[in-house]
Structure 1
Amino acid sequence: MSIIKVGIIGTGFSAKSHIEALRRLNGIEVAAISASTLEKAKKTAEQFAIPKFYGSVDDLICDPEIDVIHNCTPNYLHYHINKKVLESGKHLLSEKPLAMTSEESRELVELAKSKNVVAGVCFNYRHYPLVAQAKELIQKGEYGPVHFVHGTYLQDWLLYDTDYNWRLDTKRNGKSRAIADIGSHWCDTVQYVLNKKIVEVFADLKTVHPIRKRPIGEVETFKSKGQEVFEEIQVDSEDCGSVMVHFEDGTHGVFVVSQVNAGRKNCLTFEIAAKSGTLYWNQEEPNKLWIGRRDEANIELVRDPSLLSAFPASLAHYPGGHQEGWPDGLKNLFIDFYQAVKTSPNPSSTSFATIEDGHHIMQLIEAILKSNEEKRWVKVQTGQEVFQ
């Protein structure tokens, strides 16, 4: 196919981010968009000059001109839409989580296999140049075997009890919030860097605001100011928490998540301690990788293609000193995904999170929730479809 035509389902923050990133790729056309209403779809289509718009998901999926679909809807719609897309034989890139339960995500894995399509999940932090460089250093054993990992994913957009959006509704978001929404990103990123799965967890989660003031009307993600009329609602999902983890090779670790840490906007960090060195990366300062050493001066490796290995350098699109960040990581994810689409049904080597990776994250989230409830170590359920 010369031009790959893409359909976007959804009109919120994720959908608009996808549209902007896709438009930076060669040979890709955002050809259609659908929303919960025809009016919303038309408004976004006009904003981004998208030729077609639909008020029905089914109409978009059935459009014969559409080759690939991006699912950017609220969580509770993911499974049903993903299933329809896969059944149609179209390629799929879904926002996380892949589904609401691991039973649903397992079904989607098997369906994707039977249809022989490219299917991935939007875990975008894998695709920063210095994350890829950290992975390469670890895999080459540059600093010896890893013995401990720790990190964070901290935000503040739900700090006040007047902060609200649909993610606080368990019927629309799922049982887990901070873990499923941002903790899943930390887990996927670190598993990717280490090339090891988390197999056992011990979690301690907390709801800071069990009662919140919900504004009358819809509120987009990260937007809550200017609301004046509220109603009190009960919140059952976690605002913050910590999780100890064991990886499949015996490496220990711990990570902390919070959506109620004042001043932290999107602070995903990881620190990987190995035999002779430590690697530290912070998403809010994505153009440097700190390398700690005991008997020599520490190093700060910057995002300069001339200083990186071949694959990490390919993810850096500008010279050193020309800073790149979150939108560029998303662009790199799409470049990788669409290379697989172009070479389907025998895709070349890829680095994006596959539908199998998304399924494992669902199993991991369920294990974390079970651990928090039962206050004990819980093994992550695994199956043949995860470890291949």
Structure 2
Amino acid sequence: MSLIKVGIIGTGFSAKSHIEALRRLSGVEVVAISGSALEKAKRMAEQFSIPNFYGSVDELIEDSEVDVVHNCTPNYLHYTVNKKVLEKGKHLLSEKPLAMTSEESRELVELAKSKHVVAGVCFNYRHYPLVAQAKELIDKGEYGPVHLVHGTYLQDWLLYDTDYNWRLDAKRNGKSRAIADIGSHWCDTVQYVLNKKIVEVFADLKTVHPVRKKPIGEVETFQSRGQEAFEEIQIDSEDCGSVIVHFEDGTHGAFVVSQVNAGRKNYLTFEIAAKQGTLYWNQEEPNKLWIGRRDGGNMELMRDPSLLSPVAAALAHYPGGHQEGWPDGLKNLFIDFYTAVKTYPNVSASSFATIEDGHRIMQLIEAIVKSNEEKRWVKVETGQEVLR
């Protein structure tokens, strides 16, 4: 396949970031976009010079030119759209979560297998150079066995009771919010770095604003505006919380999520404590990996291709001192995904989160919600897990 033609479903923050990242890839072209309204799709098509635009999902999926579909719709549409894409036999990259329940995500995994397509989920934090470097150091046992992992994913865009957008509507976003939206990223990233699954959880979640003031009109994710006209809305999903986790090899861990921490914008961190050293990484300062040692000086490994392993260096596209960040991690995800599409069915080892990984995260989210509701340890359900 010399030129891969892509269709984008959605017109919000995710869709825009996908389009911009895809434009940095060779051999890939965005040829179509669809929105919840034809006018929205038309505006985006004109903004990004996309030749075809549609007012419905079905029209885009039926477009014979489109080889791959990116699903950038609100959460409640993910399952339905993903199912239609897979049934049509097109390659799929879905924003997370893969579906609203693990029953739905399991069905999607089986469907993708039967249709013999490449299908992945957009967990982009795997694809930073120093995350890859941390993974390699752990894989090689450079600092010995891991005994403790902890971290955070903190934001502040929902700090006030006047902050509102569709993610606060359980019917559109799902039963969980902070865990599903950002905690899932932390879990995926850390499981990837350790190459170990979380198998048991104990969660304590909190809704800071049980009632919020919803503005009259739609507000995009991460956007806010002063507005006098509003209606009071009951909120059932969590604003923040903490989760203790056990990994399959007995490693212990814990993480804190929040969308109500003033001053924290996109503060994803992890710290991995091993026998002979500690690795710490912060997404807001992504170009350095802190390495702590007891019997020697601590150090910071910088994102410089000449200093990294070959695998990590391949994700760094500029020399040391030329800062790379969130858009570059997304670009790296797409490079990996489209390498798989181009070489399918002879796909070599890939690092992007597969549809099976997305299904496993759905099971993990459900276990965390159940743990919070029942105030006890809950094992992550694997009885219905789809094996590769």
Q: Which amino acid aligns with 1:358?
A: G
Maintained 8 Å contact 1:147/1:252: yes
Determine if the alignment matches structure 1 residue 131 to structure 2 residue 122: no
Equivalence for 2:20 = 20
Equivalence for 1:298 = 298
Equivalence for 1:199 = 199
Spell out, residue by residue over 1:279-308, the C-alpha distance to the aligned partner (whole angstroms, 9 max, x if none): 000000000000000010001000000000
Deviation at residue 385 of structure 1 after TM alignment: 4.5
- RMSD of Structure 2 on Structure 1 (CA): 0.7
Equivalence for 2:65 = 65
Equivalence for 1:283 = 283
The alignment of Structure 1 onto Structure 2 pairs a total of residues equal to 388
* Residues in 2 aligned to 1:386 and 1:88: alpha-carbon distance in whole angstroms: 21
* Residues in 1 aligned to 2:191 and 2:361: alpha-carbon distance in whole angstroms: 10
Deviation at residue 226 of structure 1 after TM alignment: 2.8
Distance 1:387 1:192, change over 3 A: farther
- Give 3-state SS (helix, strand or coil) of 2:301's partner: strand
Maintained 8 Å contact 2:109/2:386: no
Deviation at residue 225 of structure 1 after TM alignment: 1.7
* Residues in 2 aligned to 1:384 and 1:210: alpha-carbon distance in whole angstroms: 34
* Residues in 1 aligned to 2:25 and 2:342: alpha-carbon distance in whole angstroms: 13
- Give 3-state SS (helix, strand or coil) of 2:381's partner: coil
Determine if the alignment matches structure 1 residue 115 to structure 2 residue 119: no
* Residues in 2 aligned to 1:336 and 1:297: alpha-carbon distance in whole angstroms: 36
Equivalence for 1:352 = 352
Which segments of 5 or more consecutive residues in structure 2 lack a partner in the other structure? none
Maintained 8 Å contact 2:92/2:118: yes
Equivalence for 2:4 = 4
Q: Taking every aligned residue pair, what percent have the same amino acid on both sides?
A: 87
Note the 1:254-269 alignment, pairs <5 A: 254-269=254-269
- Give 3-state SS (helix, strand or coil) of 1:32's partner: strand
Q: Which amino acid aligns with 1:365?
A: I
Maintained 8 Å contact 1:6/1:66: yes
Deviation at residue 384 of structure 1 after TM alignment: 7.0
* Residues in 2 aligned to 1:320 and 1:266: alpha-carbon distance in whole angstroms: 23
Runs of 4+ in structure 1 over 2 Å off: 383-388
Deviation at residue 348 of structure 1 after TM alignment: 1.6
Note the 1:161-172 alignment, pairs <5 A: 161-172=161-172
* Residues in 2 aligned to 1:79 and 1:228: alpha-carbon distance in whole angstroms: 36
Maintained 8 Å contact 1:153/1:269: yes
Equivalence for 2:225 = 225
Maintained 8 Å contact 2:106/2:384: no
- Give 3-state SS (helix, strand or coil) of 1:202's partner: strand
* Residues in 2 aligned to 1:172 and 1:384: alpha-carbon distance in whole angstroms: 25
Q: Which amino acid aligns with 1:145?
A: P
- Give 3-state SS (helix, strand or coil) of 2:312's partner: helix
- Give 3-state SS (helix, strand or coil) of 1:213's partner: strand
- Give the TM-score, by structure 2 length: 0.99
Maintained 8 Å contact 1:357/1:386: no
Spell out, residue by residue over 1:324-373, the C-alpha distance to the aligned partner (whole angstroms, 9 max, x if none): 00000000000000000001122121000000000000000000000000
* Residues in 1 aligned to 2:283 and 2:359: alpha-carbon distance in whole angstroms: 24
Note the 1:324-343 alignment, pairs <5 A: 324-343=324-343
Deviation at residue 37 of structure 1 after TM alignment: 0.9
